Amino acid sequence: MAWDATKLKDWQIAEEAEKNMPSVEELIEKLSLRKEEIIPYGKTPKVDFLKMMERLGDKPDGKYIEVTAITPTPLGEGKTTTTLGLIEGLAKRGKNVGGAVRQPSGGPTMNIKGTAAGGGNALLIPMTEFSLGLTGDINDIMNAHNLCMVALNARMQHEANYTDEELAKRGLKRLDIDPKNVEMGWVIDYAAQGLRNIIIGIGGKKDGFQMQSKFGIAVGSELMAILAVAKDLPDLRERIGKIVVAYNKTGQPVTAADLEVDGAMTAWMRNTINPTICYTAEGQPVMVHAGPFANIAIGQSSIIADRVGLKMFDYHVTESGFAADIGFEKFWNVKARLGGLKPNVSVLVATIRALKMHGGGPAVVPGRPLPDEYTKENLELVEKGCANLLHHLEIIKKSGIVPVVCINGFYTDTQAEIDLIKKIVGAAGARCAHSDHWLNGGDGALELADAVMDACEEESNFKCLYPLEMPLRQRVELIAKEVYGADGVDWSPEAEAKAKRFESDPYYADFSTMMVKTHLSLSHDPALKGVPKGWRLPIRDVLVYGGAKFLCPMAGAISLMPGTSSDPAYRRIDVDTKTGKVSGLF
C-alpha cells in the first residue's frame, strides 16, 4: 500500500520505505549479478561497470526510455518523480525494469528545489544518503577540479617569482600564463552568489599569484561533464589531461597535462566511474551517476549507467535535466550520439500547474503560496498553456523518438482539465497518460506504464538534428530556430570571434555543441513564458571544455553559479541527536 503523501513529508515516507529496502544480497539475486560485480559501500553499493560489460556486452539492449518535460515553473514539474513512478508502474506490470538518475547537487538540496529524489510515493531511497553526498562522487570532482586550480595559481606564482634558469632547476618550463585569460575557476557545491567574482592571492610573494578569479557550482564543472560522457577509466584519464585551464600570452591553451596535475586529478576521480545503486520506494534498482543542471551543464545521467542499465533491464529509464529544449536537446544531439545508443521512447512530463503558468497565470514564486488559479479549475489557462506542451512535443518528434506525454498528477487537478489536455495531445497525434505516482506509487502509474510499453513497440526513427561536420554557428542557428523557436541568433563581437577561431581549427571539428541557456523559458529570458515569438537568441560568449570536447555558447545573462533564496531548505533541515536521523529533506 502507498503511504499518505498528503500528510507525510518525503523524508518520512523515505524512512518507512527504507525499512523494506533490498539488501545487497537480494540485489545480487534479483539482477542475477556476480558478487565481484558489486563494490560494497554501505547501503548503496556501486556496480563495477567494466566487469558487467565484459560479461553482458553481447546481450541485446533493453528498451531505452528517456524522461524530459515542458518548460517548468521554478518549483520543477516532477521529472525524477515521474521517472521513478514509471519504473514502479512497469514493475507492477511484471517487467524487469530499472533506471538511471542524476546525482543531486548540494546547491538545490539546501536551497529551493530540493534533492531531486522524486517525491511522495515515487521516491528514491535511501533518501538521506542520496541527498547528502551518496558515495562521494561530487566531493571527488570538487577535489580534482580545485587541485587543478591550486596547480594553476601555484605555477603562476612560481613563474612570477623565479627566472627561467631557476624554474629549470626545479624541472619546470615557463608556461607564461595570461592572468586575464583564465578559463577555469574554483567550484563549491552550493548556490553561493557571493563567490561569482573574487580576487585571490592578496598578500606577499609567498601568498599566491594575485588575480581575479571565480567560483562555479561543482556539478557544472567540466569534470562532471567528462564523467557523463567517458567510456572507461583510460578515456577519463585522457580527457582530464586535455582540460583547457587557461591560455598563455600568445593565446595558446594551457591544459591540465601542461600543469602536470592530470594524473593526480584522475587519482581523485578513479572511483567515480562506477554507478551507485539506489532504489525506488517500492524496491526497484536505480543507478545514480553524473550530474544535474542542463541549463549550465550536460544535465544527464552518464552514458556508462545507460549502457549498463540497457544490459541489466528489459526496460531502462533515464532522465534529462529540465525541459526538452535544453535537457532533451543535449540527450538527443550529444549523449545519444556519443554513446552510440538508440532511444525508443521519450516521456514528456507536464503538470497542470505549469500549463496554467504558460497560459498567462500569475507568477509562481518559490516560498510563497500558489495563487488560486493553480489550485482551482481553470480550463482557459490550461488550453492556452498547452501551446508550450505542443512545442516541446514537436521537438521530440523531430528526433524520431516516439513521444508519450505524461500528465504528472497533483491532487488539486480536475478531471475536466485532464480530459482537455488528453484531447489536445491526441489531436497532435501523440499518446497521453495521466499518472498519480506521487499519490499512489506504481499503482498510480499503470496508465503511463501501459502507454510507454505500447510506444516501445513502435519503430524509433532516431536521427540527430545536425551532422558533426556542420560549423558551430550554423549548429547554434539551427538549434535556436528548430528547438527554441527563435528568429535567429545575434553574436557579441567576442563570441563571434571565438566561434570563427573554433570553426577554422580542425582540432575542434568534432566537439559537441553544449548550449548554456535558462531553463525557465524557451527563450534566453526567463520572464518570457508560453511560446515566445519574434525574438532572437543573443550569444555573449563561447566556453571551451577541451576534455569533454564541448563548445558551450552562452545565451543571455545566465550564470554558472546559482544564488541562494531568502527562504532556503536548510532552514528546515535538522538531525535527531538521539537517533542521528535527518529530517526536513524534500
Cα–Cα distances in Å, from 424 out to 301, 411, 451, 522?
Answer: 31, 21, 17, 20
> Nine-digit cell at 66?
528517456
332 Cβ contact partners less than 8 Å away, ≥ 6 residues apart:
399, 401, 464, 465
Task: Tell me if 408 sits within 8 A of 435, measured CB to CB.
Answer: yes
Confirm or deny that 79 is annotated as ligand binding.
yes
Query: Amino acid letter at 495?
Result: A
Confirm or deny that 37 is annotated as ligand binding.
no
**Residue 172: count of CB within 10 angstroms of its CB:** 15
Cα–Cα distances in Å, from 50 out to 201, 310, 381?
Answer: 43, 14, 50
Task: Tell me if 398 sits within 8 A of 482, measured CB to CB.
Answer: yes
Confirm or deny that 457 is annotated as ligand binding.
no
* Element holding 237 (H helix, E strand): helix 233-241
125 Cβ contact partners less than 8 Å away, ≥ 6 residues apart:
14, 17, 18, 21, 278, 279, 280, 281
Task: Tell me if 321 sits within 8 A of 327, measured CB to CB.
Answer: yes
DSSP character string of 345-395: EEEEEE-HHHHHHHTTPPPP-TTSPPPGGGTS--HHHHHHHHHHHHHHHHH
Confirm or deny that 78 is annotated as ligand binding.
yes
Q: Which of 314, 344, 331, 335 is nearest to 56 (CA)?
A: 314
Q: Which residue has the cell 506490470?
A: 93
> Nine-digit cell at 289?
551517476
For the chain, the distance separating the N- and C-terminal CA atoms, rounded to the nearest angstrom, is 21
Cα–Cα distances in Å, from 499 out to 305, 472, 523, 542, 554?
Answer: 33, 7, 21, 7, 12
Peptide bond into 126 cis (omega under 30): yes
The span from the CA of 331 to the CA of 318, in Å, is 10
Beta strands in 168-223, from DSSP E residues, in sequence order: 177-182, 186-188, 198-200, 211-213, 215-217
Show which residues are catalytic: 79, 81, 102, 113, 294, 322, 410, 438
Confirm or deny that 179 is annotated as ligand binding.
no
The span from the CA of 91 to the CA of 104, in Å, is 24
Q: Which of 533, 526, 537, 547 is nearest to 475 (CA)?
A: 537
Confirm or deny that 414 is annotated as ligand binding.
no
Report phi then psi at 253, rounded to 5. -70, 145
Confirm or deny that 76 is annotated as ligand binding.
yes
> Nine-digit cell at 379?
480550463
Helix axes 262-269, 222-229, angle to 10 degrees: 60
Confirm or deny that 532 is annotated as ligand binding.
no
Q: Binding site, residues?
A: 73-80
Q: Which residues participate in the annotated binding site for ATP?
A: 73-80
